[in-house]
C-alpha cells in the first residue's frame, strides 16, 4: 500500500479482513434463521465474477457492483427456496451452490470473455481509497481507519446494520425466532419460512460484495478467486460465537494471521502453498481446542447433575 | 406393508428420474443459450461416449474412482457421519503410492503393487481417521474438521508435487513415471480402462456384504439411524464414530492409488479435483447403497466424459457438466419431491 503507515501489517490486515467480515455477517443472518449456509464460498465467487463483469459492461463500479449483487442475491434466493420450500438438505444444496458457482463462472467466462483463465480488465478503475492527509502516520488508529477502499468502510456500515437489524427491530426478533422456534412464530400468524428466505437473500448480497471487493481491487477475475475465504468466513462465524461483534474479533484475528504470514513470506523463503495451508490448520486447531473445552465443560456438568 | 414398500420404491424412482431429467434439461438449456453449434455439442455430449471403443473405455474408466469415492462417502453416510475430506484423501493416497514406490519397489517383486495400493489405503484411512478420532474423543464436528484437514493437505501435496518430487525432465506438474511393473494392466486398449475396474466392482460387493450381512455392518447402520437407541441397545456407539470414517478414508485413498497406478502412471498435480465431491453426489443418488453406487458413478462419469468429448469437437467447455452435476445436488435430497410422488400432494409434515 501507500507509505506513511506506522504498521503496514496492521493496515493490510484491515484490507484482508473486509471480505471475511462481509461474508461471515452474511452467514450470520442465515445462521440466525436456523440455516447453516456453507455456500458462502460459492456466493463470493459469483459476486466476484458478476461484479467485475457488470462493472466492465456498464463502465461504472457502482452499477457493476449493484447488478452483480442482485444476480448473486437471485442465485442465493434459488438456493434458499430449494432448501426451504422443496425441503432439501441445506448442507447438500450448499454444496450444490458452490459447485454451480464454480461451473457457471467458468462456462460464462469461456463464452462471454472467450477465456476461462485469468481475465484482466485494463480500462477498469480501481475502487478509490479514502484517507485524511497527514493523519495516516498516527500509530494504530491511522492504520486501522485510514486509507482503505469503499468495501472496507461499507463492511463496517453493514456490521452496524446487522447489529441493529437483529437486536433492535421486530424483523430481527422474528428472524431469530424463525431459527430458534418456528412453531412460536407460526402461532403468531407469521411465516417462518419467509424470514428464512429473506435471510438467504441478505446472505447473497453480503457475499456478493465480499467477492466483488476481491476482483475489483485487483482489476481482474482469477478463477477460484475466493480461494477458501468463504470457508474461513464460516469458521469465523463459529469462532465469533454467532454474534456480530464476536465475528468482528475473529475476522480481525484471521486477517492479522494472514497479513503476518504474508509479511513472513516476503521476509523468509517459506513456500507459498505451506503458508496458504496455515489458515486451515489454525482453524482446525482452534476448532478442536474449542470442542475439547466444550466437551470437558459438559461432562463436568453431567457429573454435578448426577451428584458424583 | 408390501403395498407401502412398493409405493416407496416407485416414489424414489420417480424423484430420481425427475432430478436426473432436470439435470439434462438445464444442461441442454445452457448449451442452447451459449453454444454456436448446440446440436453438434449435444450430439457429442450424449452419443460421444458410445461412438468408439476409445471413448467408451475412457468413460468406464472415469467411473472407477467415482465408484470408490462413492462407496467411501456412502459408508460414512450410513453411520450418519460426513466425510467432506474426500478430495484430500484421494490426493494423499495418490502421492503415497509414489513415495512408497521409492522405498519398496526394488525388493518386493510381485508383492510390490499390492503393498503400494495397501499403503495408500492406510494413508487415506489415517487422514479420515483423524477426524473420526476427534469426533470420538471430543465430539469435534467431523464435517468441518475433515474438510479443513483435506484443504490443508491438498495445498501441501501440491507443493510437494511441484517442488521436491517434481519430475525434472518434463514441463508437466507431476512426479516421475512409476517404474515398470508398478502399474495395473490395460484391459481395453487403446482406452485407459484397466484392472482397477475389477477391484472397484469387487469392493462394492464386499461393502454390500459388510453393511448388510455382518454384525458390525448392522451396528454401523443402526448408529446411523439412531445413535441414542443403539447406545440403549448396548452397542459401543463410540467405536462407530471412528470405524466408518476409517473405511471411508481407506476407500478414498484406494481411489487415488488406483488412478495413479492404473490410469496416469504418475501423480499429476490436481488429479483428484472433483473426485471427492462427486463421490458424495454418487452416494446420495445411490441412497448410500453400495451396489447402486455403480450405476450412479457411471451416470456421473457419463456427464463428464460426454462434456470432455464435446469440448474437443465443439465450442463448449468441460464445466457445463459441473452445472448439470450441481442441479443433481440441488434436487437429490428434496423431501418435497419425494413426498409429492408418495402422497400425490406436497403436504405439510
The helix/strand/coil state of B130 is: helix
> How far apart are the C-alpha atoms of B70 and B81, rounded to whole Å?
14
> How far apart are the C-alpha atoms of B261 and B78, rounded to whole Å?
29
Instruction: Indicate the pTM of the whole model.
Output: 0.84
Q: Which pLDDT value is given to residue A270?
A: 61
Highest mean pLDDT among A28-42, A248-262, B96-110: A28-42
CB contact under 8 A, A288 and B134: yes
CB contact under 8 A, A87 and B326: no
Q: Does B228 touch chain A (CB under 8 A)?
A: no
Q: Range of A191's domain? A: 8-231
**What percent of chain A clears pLDDT 70, i.e. is strictly above it?**
93
> How far apart are the C-alpha atoms of B116 and B98, rounded to whole Å?
8
CB contact under 8 A, A88 and B334: yes
Helices B320-332, A61-85: inter-axial angle, 10-degree rounding: 40
> How far apart are the C-alpha atoms of A60 and B319, rounded to whole Å?
30
CB contact under 8 A, A288 and B284: no
Q: Which pLDDT value is given to residue A2?
A: 47
Question: Residue A262 has which C-alpha cell?
Answer: 504474508
Of B34, B156, B326, the CB nearest to A100: B326
Is A171 a domain residue?
Answer: yes
Res A223 pLDDT > 60: yes
> How far apart are the C-alpha atoms of B151 and A234, rounded to whole Å?
14
Q: Which pLDDT value is given to residue A268?
A: 59
Average pLDDT, chain A: 85
Is A257 a domain residue?
Answer: no
CB contact under 8 A, A99 and B329: yes
Of A99, A108, A273, the CB nearest to B322: A99
Judging contacts by C-beta atoms under 8 Å, the chain A residues touching residue B83 are none
* Element spanning B268, H or E: none
Q: Does B322 touch chain A (CB under 8 A)?
A: yes
Is A25 a domain residue?
Answer: yes
Looking at per-residue confidence, does A117 or A134 come out higher? A117
> How far apart are the C-alpha atoms of B178 and A260, rounded to whole Å?
40
CB contact under 8 A, A288 and B148: no
Per-residue burial over A256-294, b if 16 or more Cβ lie within 10 Å, else e, is bbbbebeeeeeeeeebebbbbbbbbbbbbebbbeebeee
Ranges of residues in chain B whose predicted pLDDT is under 50: 346, 348-349
CA nearest to A297 within chain B = B138
CB contact under 8 A, B323 and A103: yes
Helices A150-168, A192-218: inter-axial angle, 10-degree rounding: 170
8 Å CB contact between B195 and B187:
yes
Per-residue burial over B134-159, b if 16 or more Cβ lie within 10 Å, else e, is bbbebebbbbbbbbbbbbbbbbbbbb
8 Å CB contact between A223 and A117:
yes
Number of domains forming the structure of chain A: 1
Q: Which pLDDT value is given to residue A203?
A: 94
Judging contacts by C-beta atoms under 8 Å, the chain B residues touching residue A86 are 331, 334-337
Res A77 pLDDT > 80: yes
Q: Which pLDDT value is given to residue B93?
A: 94
Q: Which pLDDT value is given to residue A230?
A: 87
HSE of B171 in the Cβ direction (CA atoms, 13 Å)?
0
Confidence label for A300 from pLDDT (cuts 50, 70 and 90): confident
Q: Which pLDDT value is given to residue B298?
A: 93
8 Å CB contact between A127 and A216:
yes
Is A138 a domain residue?
Answer: yes
> How far apart are the C-alpha atoms of B281 and B273, rounded to whole Å?
14
Looking at per-residue confidence, does B110 or A308 come out higher? B110
Q: Does B127 touch chain A (CB under 8 A)?
A: no
Is A66 a domain residue?
Answer: yes
Looking up cell 484490507 gives A15
Judging contacts by C-beta atoms under 8 Å, the chain A residues touching residue B323 are 100, 103-104, 107
Judging contacts by C-beta atoms under 8 Å, the chain B residues touching residue A88 are 330-336
Question: Residue A92 has which C-alpha cell?
Answer: 447438500
Structural domain spans, chain B: 63-288
Res A162 pLDDT > 90: yes
Can you spell out the DSSP letters for A209-234? HHHHHHHHHHTEE-TTTTTTHHHHHH
Is A278 a domain residue?
Answer: no
CB contact under 8 A, B139 and A291: yes
CB contact under 8 A, B332 and A288: no
Judging contacts by C-beta atoms under 8 Å, the chain B residues touching residue A89 are 333
Q: Which pLDDT value is given to residue A307?
A: 60
Res A12 pLDDT > 90: no
Highest mean pLDDT among A7-16, A35-44, A295-304, B33-42: A35-44
Q: Does B143 touch chain A (CB under 8 A)?
A: yes
Q: Which pLDDT value is given to residue B349?
A: 45
Q: How many CB pairs under 8 A join A and B?
A: 135
- Segments in chain B forming alpha helices (H): 2-34, 38-51, 53-78, 86-108, 112-138, 142-162, 196-213, 215-225, 227-232, 239-258, 275-285, 293-313, 320-332, 335-343
8 Å CB contact between B149 and B127:
yes
**Nearest by Cα to B66 from B254, B278, B268, B344:** B278
HSE of B267 in the Cβ direction (CA atoms, 13 Å)?
27
Res A49 pLDDT > 90: yes
Q: Which pLDDT value is given to residue A24?
A: 94
Is A244 a domain residue?
Answer: no
CB contact under 8 A, A284 and B148: yes
- How far is the CA of B74 from the CAs of A98, B134, B254, in angstroms? 21, 20, 15
Amino acid at each position: 500500500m501507500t507509505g506513511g503507515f506506522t504498521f503496514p501489517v496492521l493496515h493490510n490486515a484491515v484490507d484482508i479482513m473486509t471480505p471475511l467480515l462481509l461474508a461471515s455477517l452474511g452467514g450470520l443472518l442465515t445462521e440466525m434463521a436456523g440455516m447453516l449456509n456453507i455456500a458462502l464460498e460459492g456466493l463470493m465467487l459469483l459476486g466476484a465474477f458478476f461484479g467485475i463483469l457488470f462493472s466492465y459492461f456498464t463502465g461504472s463500479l457502482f452499477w457493476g457492483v449493484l447488478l452483480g449483487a442482485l444476480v448473486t442475491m437471485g442465485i442465493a434466493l434459488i438456493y434458499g427456496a430449494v432448501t426451504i420450500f422443496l425441503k432439501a438438505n441445506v448442507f447438500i444444496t450448499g454444496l450444490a451452490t458452490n459447485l454451480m458457482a464454480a461451473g457457471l463462472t467458468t462456462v460464462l467466462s469461456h463464452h462471454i470473455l472467450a477465456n476461462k483463465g485469468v481475465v484482466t480488465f485494463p480500462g477498469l478503475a480501481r475502487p478509490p481509497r479514502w484517507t485524511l492527509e497527514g493523519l495516516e502516520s498516527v500509530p494504530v488508529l491511522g492504520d486501522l481507519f485510514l486509507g482503505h477502499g469503499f468495501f472496507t468502510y461499507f463492511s463496517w456500515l453493514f456490521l452496524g446494520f446487522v447489529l441493529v437489524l437483529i437486536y433492535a427491530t421486530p424483523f430481527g426478533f422474528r428472524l431469530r425466532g424463525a431459527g430458534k422456534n418456528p412453531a412460536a412464530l407460526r402461532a403468531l400468524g407469521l411465516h417462518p419460512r419467509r424470514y428464512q428466505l429473506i435471510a438467504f437473500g441478505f446472505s447473497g448480497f453480503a457475499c456478493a460484495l465480499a467477492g466483488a471487493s476481491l476482483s475489483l481491487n485487483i482489476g481482474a477475475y482469477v478463477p477460484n478467486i475466493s480461494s477458501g475465504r468463504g470457508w474461513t468466513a464460516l469458521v469465523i462465524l463459529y469462532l465469533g460465537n454467532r454474534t456480530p461483534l464476536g465475528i468482528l474479533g475473529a475476522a480481525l484475528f484471521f486477517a492479522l494471521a494472514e497479513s503476518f504470514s504474508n509479511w513472513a513470506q516476503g521476509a523468509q523463503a517459506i513456500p507459498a502453498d505451506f503458508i496458504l495451508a496455515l489458515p486451515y490448520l489454525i482453524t482446525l486447531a482452534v476448532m478442536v481446542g474449542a470442542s475439547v473445552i466444550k466437551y470437558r465443560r459438559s461432562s463436568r456438568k453431567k457429573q454435578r447433575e448426577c451428584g458424583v | 406393508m408390501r403395498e407401502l414398500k412398493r409405493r416407496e420404491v416407485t416414489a424414489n424412482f420417480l424423484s430420481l428420474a425427475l432430478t436426473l431429467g432436470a439435470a439434462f434439461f438445464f444442461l441442454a438449456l445452457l448449451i442452447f443459450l451459449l453454444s454456436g453449434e448446440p446440436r453438434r455439442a449435444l450430439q457429442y455430449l450424449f452419443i460421444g461416449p458410445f461412438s468408439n471403443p476409445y471413448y467408451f473405455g475412457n468413460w468406464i474408466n472415469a467411473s472407477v474412482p467415482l465408484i470408490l469415492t462413492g462407496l467411501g462417502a456412502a459408508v460414512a453416510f450410513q453411520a450418519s457421519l460426513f466425510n467432506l475430506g474426500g478430495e484430500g484423501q484421494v490426493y494423499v493416497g495418490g502421492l503415497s503410492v509414489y513415495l512408497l514406490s521409492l522405498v519398496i519397489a526394488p525388493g518386493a517383486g510381485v508383492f510390490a503393487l499390492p503393498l503400494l495400493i495397501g499403503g495408500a489405503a492406510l494413508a487415506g484411512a489415517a487422514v479420515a481417521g483423524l477426524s473420526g478420532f476427534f469426533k470420538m474423543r471430543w465430539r469435534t464436528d467431523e464435517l468441518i474438521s475433515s474438510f479443513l484437514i483435506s484443504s490443508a493437505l491438498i495445498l501441501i501435496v501440491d507443493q510437494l508435487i511441484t517442488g521436491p518430487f517434481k519430475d525434472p525432465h518434463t514441463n508437466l506438474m507431476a512426479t516421475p513415471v512409476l517404474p515398470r511393473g508398478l502399474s495395473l494392466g490395460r484391459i481395453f486398449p487403446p482406452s485407459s480402462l484397466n484392472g482397477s475396474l475389477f477391484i472397484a466392482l469387487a469392493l462394492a460387493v464386499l461393502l454390500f456384504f459388510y453393511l448388510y450381512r455382518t454384525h458390525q455392518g448392522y451396528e454401523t447402520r443402526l448408529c446411523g439411524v439412531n445413535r441414542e437407541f443403539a447406545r440403549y441397545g448396548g452397542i459401543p456407539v463410540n467405536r462407530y464414530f471412528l470405524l466408518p470414517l476409517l473405511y471411508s478414508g481407506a476407500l478414498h485413498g484406494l481411489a487415488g492409488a488406483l488412478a495413479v497406478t492404473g490410469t496416469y502412471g504418475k501423480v499429476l498435480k490436481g488429479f483428484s479435483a472433483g473426485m471427492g465431491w462427486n463421490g458424495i453426489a454418487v452416494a446420495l443418488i445411490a441412497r448410500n447403497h453400495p451396489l447402486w453406487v455403480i450405476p450412479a458413478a457411471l451416470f456421473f462419469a457419463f456427464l463428464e466424459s460426454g462434456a470432455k468429448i464435446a469440448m474437443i469437437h465443439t465450442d463448449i467447455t468441460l464445466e457445463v457438466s459441473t452445472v448439470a452435476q450441481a442441479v443433481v445436488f440441488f434436487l437429490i435430497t428434496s423431501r418435497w419431491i419425494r413426498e409429492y410422488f408418495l402422497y400425490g400432494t406436497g403436504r405439510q409434515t
